[in-house]
Amino acid sequence: MTSEHNVVQIALFTALIAALGLIPQLTLAFGVPITAQSLGVMLCGTVLGAKRGAYAALLFVGLVAIGLPLLAGGRGGLGLFTSPTAGFLIGFPFAAFFTGYAMEKLNRMPVGWAAGLAAVIGGVIVLYAFGIAGMSLVLERSVIEAAALVTAFIPGDLIKAALAGVITAALYRARPHSVMSRG
């Protein structure tokens, strides 16, 4: 793995997170439309591993901050960092890191299950911890009240975590070397 390869892969995954927010909405098994952006963050962790995955998500957040409209719906800019949902955005790199970290630690488990579980740990538990903390700060709500505001979105994200598992397992079958968290 050359240093060029590393940087390019990180950049391409950052672009992938952005592109997943731009392509027409996909439907889940039950016909619920989703934006796949947080799925992109989970895949950063399960495919690239902790360090590179975190770099890719960090680059994404940095580029959103300087004003690129990379978030779903073409949003971006500094306003997102003072809005009630700022915690989720700031949590992206941490979510990717902990997803990747869990993935690396679960290396005895079959890839799909490990990736699904890692995505729940990083992409749901860690991400919501940041999101809820941000919301409770901006809206001056207690943590419990802030959590109540976002619980409706948790089932969707759990489904995305499961999809991250299925997709990572399929990628591992097709291209074992591409799943670098198993390298």
For residues 43 and 161, what is the distance between their CA atoms, to the nearest angstrom?
A: 9
Q: How far is the CB of 54 from other proteins (least distance, A)?
A: 13
For residues 123 and 105, what is the distance between their CA atoms, to the nearest angstrom?
A: 16
Give start and end residues of each alpha helix (H) in 47-85. 50-65
Applying CB under 8 A, among 35, 38, 41, 43 the residue interacting with other proteins is 43
Q: Give the binding-site size for other proteins (rule: CB under 8 A).
A: 63
Please say which residue, 4 or 108, places its beta carbon nearer to other proteins. 4
By CB under 8 A, is residue 75 in contact with other proteins?
yes
x/- string (CB under 8 A) for other proteins, residues 102-121?
--------------------
Q: What is the CA radius of gyration of the chain?
A: 16
By CB under 8 A, is residue 32 in contact with other proteins?
no
Q: Looking only at residues 55 through 74 of this chain, which bind other proteins when binding is defined by CB under 8 A?
A: 59-60, 62-63, 66-70, 73-74
- CA distances to 3, 12, 115, 135 from 7, in Å: 6, 9, 23, 33
Q: Dig out the tokens for 17 from the structure.
A: 């997170």
Instruction: Please state the length of the chain.
Output: 183
Q: How far is the CB of 38 from other proteins (least distance, A)?
A: 13
Q: Dig out the tokens for 31 from the structure.
A: 């016909």
By CB under 8 A, is residue 129 in contact with other proteins?
no
Per the CB < 8 A criterion, the answer to whether 89 and 81 are in contact is: yes
Find the angle CA(28)-CA(164)-CA(76) to the nearest 5 degrees.
80
Q: How far is the CB of 125 from other proteins (least distance, A)?
A: 21
Q: Looking only at residues 130 through 159 of this chain, which bind other proteins when binding is defined by CB under 8 A?
A: 138-140, 149
User: Contact residues for other proteins (CB under 8 A)?
Assistant: 2-16, 18-20, 22-29, 34, 36, 39, 43, 47, 59-60, 62-63, 66-70, 73-84, 138-140, 149, 163, 167, 170-171, 174-175, 178
